[in-house]
Amino acid sequence: SQQGEEDPQALSIQEGENATMNCSYKTSINNLQWYRQNSGRGLVHLILIRSNEREKHSGRLRVTLDTSKKSSSLLITASRAADTASYFCATGKGAQKLVFGQGTRLTINP
Amino acid sequence: DGGITQSPKYLFRKEGQNVTLSCEQNLNHDAMYWYRQDPGQGLRLIYYSQIVNDFQKGDIAEGYSVSREKKESFPLTVTSAQKNPTAFYLCASSQTGGDEKLFFGSGTQLSVL
């Protein structure tokens, strides 16, 4: 069964708005990672948050982690057309045991 | 330019045929991985290798085979035993003992003729 599940499955917003997507998982983790995938391309690592961290920032990205609720959120502020992509969370213990969710398809409308 | 190169970008398989997908990395990473992605789905691990001449089955290894004769290369063979091979295949690598971040190639789309 999937370890990470993203919500919503699809999100469409206007350029300049903020986008929030969520990830829930089932078992204990070392860290949680977020990746972006443009259509027909490979995944690109965005940010990693460790199990003892609650919030992390990288540019326009903000990630939170709540281990008590086994959930994480990814916030993209001031969205741009180039942010249109699928976003995946990955959880687990060790790179060889990472489990990916089904992703959130984000569309930024001009 | 450091990275992971997958080839070909598109591949077609005839029934009963084995096909091999190439993956090469120049990041000096010890670990390499193969994932399968079906439309609208997440990634599922096929095989991984943490060191040369050693590899482990992932969650969906049946119908696939790999080799790791060189640190830089981790080819994946989709055998005729894989009855539903149409998918997007992604190769990745990571530094062992590092922060577990994966670096991905640009993928190979395999279709059945």
Q: Which of B6, B102, B105 sits opposite A98 (nearest CB)?
A: B102
Average pLDDT over chain B, rounded to an integer: 93
**Minimal CA–CA distance to A88: which of A64, A70, A104, A107?**
A104
- Per-window interface: B 16-75 vs A, CB < 8 A: 31, 33, 35, 40-45, 48, 50, 56
Cβ–Cβ gap B90/A43 under 8 Å: yes
Residues of A at the B interface (Cβ-Cβ below 8 Å)?
A: 2, 4, 30-31, 33, 35, 40-45, 48, 88, 90, 94-96, 98-103
Question: Quick one: average pLDDT of A94-108?
Answer: 88
Query: What's the CA gap between B9 and A41, in Å, rounded?
Result: 10
Tens digits of per-residue pLDDT, A56-84? 999 999 999 999 999 999 999 999 999 99
- Per-window interface: B 89-108 vs A, CB < 8 A: 90, 92, 94, 96, 99-107
Higher-confidence position of A83 and B41: A83
Using an 8 Å CB-CB cutoff, list chain A residues near B45. Answer: 96, 98
Question: Quick one: average pLDDT of B90-110?
Answer: 90
Do A1 and A99 contact (CB within 8 A), yes or no? no
Question: Quick one: average pLDDT of A4-20?
Answer: 94
pLDDT band at A92 (very low <50, low <70, confident <90, very high): confident
pLDDT at B40 over 90: no
